[in-house]
């Protein structure tokens, strides 16, 4: 591609997609060459045979810093260098397309699409660039709404690699990386193969504080995706113990902050489970101690059962049977597999019209800038606790 042996050939495959998740503080790495995924190989390695490697690296970092497309001549005047940044998701450019060609050539049209995203691990808020929303086929009037972390997976079909991806979110450890290939179901129903690349980093804030965020890029490989076999549920090839039953909804839940990470079944329609609804998801403040006890039992490898009041779309509360057990995401990282069920409700305890759905198991908000801990939720929900449907 950009190596000395291929610098003189014009082709759409000569675009490199380079991640800049850490800004200027780390050597950028290549995550795609044209349509082909590259597994985070340092830019210096990919361009090791090119005498223009340093100039391309400087141009990539400059384009990421300034956030505008750049085109310059090489120092010896023999080549044209171009860098085009992806639209930022959180104010910082996550990736840059880089190209090198002859002075008489023009950068070719890119044959594939990519979009940036950023997940704040404290707030659970997911930010997506306009390019990512277009890749997903999201309607224009839905681009700006807030999203929760579980919504990052709602259009992604089950993958044998998803346990490793979820493990990055649970650990929240700066420096952790993930790359994997998934099948995306676009808004128009089309299946596309995408590669997801991301890294956990710290993002400085005023006053010396810092957020831990996951910065990522989703890249369309230009190929049609393939749906998994019906009923195939995978967490690193692990068979989930709980089978789907009418009136139940399964979800992978973060063991510490109690936020849903990945819905195994479609989330319940009548209860507050996403940022789309009129009310924030939440656990009744009076039930938070029980929810925390469940999390503690699951963390040590146990199984826990409880009835919890969860926020519904009418702004009230619905009692839901909750069963939780430990599920291994990757070696050394686990989460809670939670099954929500109406079958264990006592007669008359559910909300009106909720006979066929369950509530979302969640202790976070819509992804506000502050950290929505369980205690914060208790304070926020206390003003409405009187509307609980006992």
CATH number at residue 26: 3.30.450.20
Query: Per residue in 103-155, pLDDT tens?
Result: 999 998 888 899 999 999 999 989 999 899 999 998 766 766 778 899 899 89
- Tell me the average pLDDT across 229-238: 44
Q: What is the pLDDT at residue 139?
A: 76
Domain termination site, one of 58, 85, 108: 108
pLDDT band at 25 (very low <50, low <70, confident <90, very high): low
Residue 141: inside a domain, yes or no? no
Q: What is the pLDDT at residue 205?
A: 84
Residue 190: inside a domain, yes or no? no
Query: Per residue in 160-186, pLDDT tens?
Result: 888 999 999 999 999 999 999 999 999
- According to the per-residue pLDDT averaged within each range, which of 19-33, 61-75, 244-258, 337-351 is highest? 61-75
**DSSP-assigned letter for residue 31:** E
- Structural tokens at position 11: 């082709």
Using the predicted structure, report yes or no on whether residue 75 has a pLDDT greater than 70: yes
Residue 180: inside a domain, yes or no? no
Residue 235: inside a domain, yes or no? no
How many separate domains does the chain show? 2
Q: What is the pLDDT at residue 5?
A: 38
Q: What is the pLDDT at residue 370?
A: 29
Q: What is the pLDDT at residue 200?
A: 97
Residue 351: inside a domain, yes or no? yes
Lowest mean pLDDT among 16-25, 48-57, 281-290, 340-349: 340-349
* The pTM of the whole model exceeds 0.85: no
Residue 300: inside a domain, yes or no? yes
pLDDT band at 88 (very low <50, low <70, confident <90, very high): confident
* Nearest C-alpha neighbor of 114 from the set 11, 30, 200, 46: 30
- Tell me the average pLDDT across 312-322: 92
Instruction: Specify the 3-state DSSP secondary structure of 60.
Output: helix
* 8 A C-beta contact, residue 18 and residue 43: yes
Residue with tokens 């995706």: 225
Domain termination site, one of 60, 90, 108: 108
Q: What is the pLDDT at residue 271?
A: 81
Domain termination site, one of 58, 76, 108: 108
Residue 187: inside a domain, yes or no? no
- Structural tokens at position 186: 């676009």
Longest distance between any two alpha carbons in the chain, whole Å: 81
Q: What is the pLDDT at residue 58?
A: 95
Distance of CA 177 to the CA centre of its chain: 13
Q: What is the pLDDT at residue 388?
A: 42
**DSSP-assigned letter for residue 140:** G
* Nearest C-alpha neighbor of 281 from the set 318, 249, 247, 252: 318
Domain membership of residue 376 as a residue range: 246-390
The proportion of the chain whose per-residue pLDDT surpasses 70, expressed as a percent, equals 78
* 8 A C-beta contact, residue 292 and residue 374: yes
Comparing 324 with 360, the larger pLDDT belongs to: 324
Would strands 125-128 and 114-120 be described as parallel, antiparallel, or unpaired?
antiparallel
pLDDT band at 377 (very low <50, low <70, confident <90, very high): very low
- Tell me the average pLDDT across 311-334: 91
- Report the mean per-residue pLDDT for the chain: 80
CA distances from 262 to 59, 72, 110, 167, 226 (A): 38, 44, 32, 12, 20
pLDDT band at 240 (very low <50, low <70, confident <90, very high): low
pLDDT band at 90 (very low <50, low <70, confident <90, very high): confident
Comparing 35 with 8, the larger pLDDT belongs to: 35
Full DSSP string of 311-377: EBTTSSEEEEEEEEEEEEEETTEEEEEEEEESTTPPTT-SPTT-TT---------S--SS---HHHH
Residue 156: inside a domain, yes or no? no
């Amino acid at each position: 591609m950009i190596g000395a042996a291929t610098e003189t050939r014009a082709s759409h495959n000569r675009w490199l997609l380079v991640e800049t998740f850490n800004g200027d503080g780390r050597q950028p790495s290549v995550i795609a060459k044209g349509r082909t995924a590259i597994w985070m190989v340092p830019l210096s390695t990919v361009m090791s045979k090119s005498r223009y490697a340093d100039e391309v690296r400087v141009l990539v970092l400059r384009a990421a810093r300034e956030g505008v497309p750049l085109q310059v001549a090489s120092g010896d005047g023999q080549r044209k260098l171009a860098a085009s940044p992806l639209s930022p998701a959180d104010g910082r450019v996550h990736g840059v397309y880089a190209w090198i060609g002859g002075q008489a050539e023009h950068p070719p049209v890119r044959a594939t699409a990519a979009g940036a995203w950023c997940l704040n691990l404290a707030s659970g808020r997911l930010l997506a660039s306009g390019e990512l929303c277009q890749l997903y086929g999201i309607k224009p009037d839905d681009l700006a709404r807030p999203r929760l972390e579980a919504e990052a997976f709602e259009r992604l079909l089950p993958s044998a690699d998803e346990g490793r991806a979820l493990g990055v979110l649970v650990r929240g450890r700066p420096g952790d990386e993930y790359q994997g290939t998934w099948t995306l179901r676009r808004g128009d129903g089309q299946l596309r193969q995408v590669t997801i690349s991301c890294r956990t980093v710290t993002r400085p804030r005023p006053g010396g504080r810092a957020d831990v965020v996951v910065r990522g890029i989703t890249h369309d490989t230009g190929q049609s995706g393939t749906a998994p076999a019906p009923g195939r549920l995978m967490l690193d090839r692990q068979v989930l113990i709980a089978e789907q039953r009418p009136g139940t909804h399964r979800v992978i839940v973060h063991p510490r902050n109690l936020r849903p990470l990945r819905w195994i079944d479609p989330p319940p329609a009548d209860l507050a489970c996403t940022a789309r609804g009129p009310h924030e998801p939440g656990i009744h403040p009076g039930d938070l101690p029980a929810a925390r006890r469940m999390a503690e039992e699951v963390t040590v490898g146990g199984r826990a059962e409880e009835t919890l009041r969860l926020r519904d779309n009418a702004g009230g509360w619905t009692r839901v049977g909750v069963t939780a057990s430990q599920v291994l995401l990757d070696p050394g990282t686990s989460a809670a597999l939670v099954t929500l069920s109406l079958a264990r409700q006592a007669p008359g305890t559910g909300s009106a019209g909720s006979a066929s759905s369950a509530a979302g198991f969640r202790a976070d908000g819509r992804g506000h800038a502050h950290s929505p801990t369980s205690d914060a939720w208790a304070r926020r929900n206390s003003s409405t606790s009187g509307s609980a449907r006992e």
